[in-house]
Structure 1
Amino acid sequence: MTARTRFWDPDGTRYGIPTYPYRLAPDGLASRRQLRAKGLRPGGQEIAAQILWRSRRPRPGVRAAYLYRIELALPVRPMTPAKWQAVAAALAARRMCPDCGLDRGYTIPTSLGVCVPCAYAPTLAA
């Protein structure tokens, strides 16, 4: 059974919701990313269908993308000044080193937990 026939279930008997192989979804349906590119959002509607495909990366297996009806989608809510301020504060916090307290101008690596100079200062001092 090929992937195209394995994932072809337009009536939803096998997978519970209408299912299509990669790149074979009917018109009028879009993923979240496709809706966002059109300035839309799902707006609380139920999942109308899904696309399934085999993937080797990042983890081998079957991946899914859920599809929504374009005619039921709502416009994206605009960003308010308060939301812009909250996003700016969150990004600034990610740039602040907890050890030296300086805004480093880049996002502090989570693997280090501190800025690069603070992380490698003991190694450089020796």
Structure 2
Amino acid sequence: MTTTALTNPFLDALGARTGIRVEFYDPTGCRYGFPTFPYRYAPKSLATRRQLRADGLRPNGYDPVAQILWRHRKEIRKAYLYRRDLAASKRVASPAQLAVIERMLIARRTCGTCGITRDYYIPTRTGACLICETGGTR
């Protein structure tokens, strides 16, 4: 992917017209060492992990090619961007895997003392439900 494909015409024109440099706009990676975009200004050909997941995709083992930086309160936050054209479809769990997951979740809700399956997860520090736990109020 070329750097010209990563540029944003609006942000380029803004900088040329006003002389104001947008803080987190660095499509070449000269300033931040990695192509960087401000929040909501990344090219449509790039997506975060969450955006890929919403589209039913995954990064497919490829490294991120750019990043988004933004300020939140007093810290700078970062999200990595992956190429959509290299993403693969999400893997689907087999029926056997789903059955194992369901049994594991039931085991997390089963009390180790009384053996009753509760409608909440048993605390791991005690291994007992809230009724069996000493000093429990239920």
Could you state the TM-score of these two structures normalised by the residue count of structure 1? 0.78
User: Equivalent pairs: percent with the same residue?
Assistant: 52
Residue 70 of structure 1, aligned match among 70, 81, 84: 84
- 1:19 & 1:112 partners in 2: Cα distance? 47
Structure (1/2) with the larger helix percentage: 1
Which amino acid in 1 is paired with 2:118? R
**Structure 1: any 5+ residue segments left out of the alignment?**
none
RMSD after superposition: 2.2
- Computing the radius of gyration from Cα coordinates, the structure with the larger value is 2
Aligned residues: 117
Q: Which residue of 1 aligns with 2:54?
A: 37
Evaluate the alpha carbon distance shift between residue 70 and residue 117 of structure 1 in structure 2; reply closer, same or farther with a 3 A threshold.
same
- The answer to whether the 8 Å contact 2:130/2:136 transfers is no
1:90 paired to 2:107: no
**Structure 2: any 5+ residue segments left out of the alignment?**
1-20
User: After TM superposition, what 4+ stretches of structure 1 lie above 3 angstroms from structure 2?
Assistant: 109-114
1:18 paired to 2:32: no
Q: CA deviation at 1:98?
A: 2.9
